[in-house]
C-alpha cells in the first residue's frame, strides 16, 4: 500500500469539481498536484443487485482523484483528462466510509500516470488502479 501523506488543497489553485462528484457523493479532503485524498460514505445507492459496491464506483473514485491531482499539477497551463483507467477490485464492501488516495507515478509534457488505492475504514485495500491522463493545453 502507498504511504499516507499529508496533502493540503493548494489555496492558489481552484479545485475543479464535477457535478458527477456530487451525484456520487465523493468528497475531496486534501488535494494538490502531488496527491489527492477523497472519501465516500457508501450506502445502498452504490450497490449492485447483490448488495455490495458496484465496481464502477471504485473506478470512479480512482479516476476522479487522479484527474484532480493531474489537473492541479498542470495548474493554469491546462487540464488533464483520463485516456485509460485500469482498476482492480480486491475486496467486497457493503457499507461505510471508503478512503482513496492518488499519487503520481509519472508526469510528462503530454501524459501523466497516477495510481490510486481505495481502502475501507479498517485500512484494508479494497481496490486499486492506474489512470493514464492526457495533458490538454489551450
In the chain, domain spans: 19-136
Q: Strands (DSSP E) along the chain, which ranges?
A: 27-32, 35-42, 79-89, 96-107, 111-119, 125-136
Catalytic residue (one of 30, 63, 76, 101): 63
Residues 6+ apart with CB under 8 A from 25: 40, 41, 46
User: What is the tens place of the pLDDT at every residue in 4-16?
Assistant: 444 444 444 456 6
> The pTM is what?
0.88
Q: Active site includes 95?
A: no
Distances (CA, A) of 26 to 15, 19, 30, 42, 104: 13, 10, 12, 10, 20
Architecture of domain 19-136: Roll (3.10)
User: What is the tens place of the pLDDT at every residue in 62-74?
Assistant: 999 999 999 999 9
Amino acid at each position: 500500500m502507498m504511504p499516507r501523506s499529508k496533502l493540503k488543497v493548494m489555496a492558489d489553485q481552484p479545485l475543479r469539481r464535477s457535478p458527477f462528484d456530487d451525484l456520487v457523493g465523493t468528497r475531496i479532503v486534501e488535494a494538490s498536484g502531488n496527491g489527492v485524498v477523497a472519501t465516500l460514505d457508501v450506502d445502498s445507492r452504490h450497490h449492485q443487485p447483490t448488495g455490495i459496491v458496484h465496481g464502477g464506483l471504485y473506478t470512479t473514485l480512482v479516476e476522479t482523484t487522479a484527474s484532480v491531482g493531474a489537473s492541479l499539477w498542470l495548474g493554469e497551463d491546462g487540464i488533464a483528462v483520463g485516456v485509460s483507467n485500469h482498476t482492480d477490485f480486491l475486496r467486497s464492501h457493503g457499507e461505510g466510509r471508503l478512503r482513496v488516495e492518488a499519487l503520481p507515478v509519472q508526469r510528462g509534457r503530454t501524459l501523466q500516470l497516477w495510481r490510486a488505492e481505495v481502502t475501507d475504514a479498517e485500512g484494508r485495500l479494497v481496490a486499486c488502479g492506474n489512470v493514464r491522463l492526457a495533458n490538454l493545453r489551450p
